[in-house]
Amino acid sequence: MSIKLEKFVPFGRSFDEYRQIFALSEADLSGNILGVGDGPASFNAEATAKGYSVTSIDPVYKFSGEEIYRQFDHVLDTIIDQVIATPNDWIWSYHRSPNDLRRNRIQAIQRFISDYQHGKQAGRYQVGSLPSLTFKDDQFDLALCSHLLFLYSDHYDAVFHQQAVQEMLRVSQEVRIFPLLTLMLQPSPYLDRVIHDCVAAGHTVTIEPVFYELQRGGNQMLRIRKVIKAAN
């Protein structure tokens, strides 16, 4: 997946947002976690500071921190203006208002930027993208995919979604995806197909409510627990 910086919307989420978005328990956080498409989220930086193990992948990591922040600054007000212009599309519970959302996004990217160069050197931020990952089979306990699959159903087709989920299941024991709505606040047309494929492969699949909601109706995650195959 190639990416042009001017097409990238660098809105990242915090550790606490990830914790709520993916209903992360202490046991979950204690495992080896892969963040897929993390962008400038501060999840990795904050998790690392708390002693957890997180690897983040995103094609945008080929750019410098300065370039990523410059793009963030370029699009921030436009995105917040769009949010203000569509008041019925949003739930102001976690974020209290559009201005609070703006402050939280600035705080998240600043934490990310402060950690980014050191994290790249440590291998915690790696250039990579679905549907092909460079990691070993079962390298991670848990793979988290925030605001990529299903949300961008108009950009990525059914085959991409199927291959992406299969690849995350190859490298991890469990996959969680949030949200399940598209940018137009509609259920993704690919959700049922992904669920069917995973169930047919013997995996355990559930749609679970979470406490976090920003998009109206976007308060569910998909949880896929991989079937453990017996050794020959």
Helix 191-200 to helix 158-171 angle, to the nearest 10 degrees?
40
Residue pair 39/60 in contact (Cβ under 8 Å)? The answer is yes
| pLDDT value for 2 | 39
pLDDT, tens digit, for every residue of 124-176? 999 999 999 999 999 999 999 999 999 999 999 999 999 999 999 999 999 99
Of 108, 200, 128, 207, nearest to 168 by C-alpha is 128
- Domains of the chain (ranges; CATH) run 5-225 (3.40.50.150)
- Phi, psi values for residue 217, rounded to 5°: 90, -5
Name residue, tokens 């974020």. Answer: 95
pLDDT, tens digit, for every residue of 45-104? 999 999 999 999 999 999 999 999 999 999 999 999 999 999 999 999 999 999 999 999
Residue-wise DSSP of 30-69: TSEEEEET-TT-SHHHHHHHTT-EEEEE-GGGGS-HHHHH
- Percent share of the chain, pLDDT over 90: 93
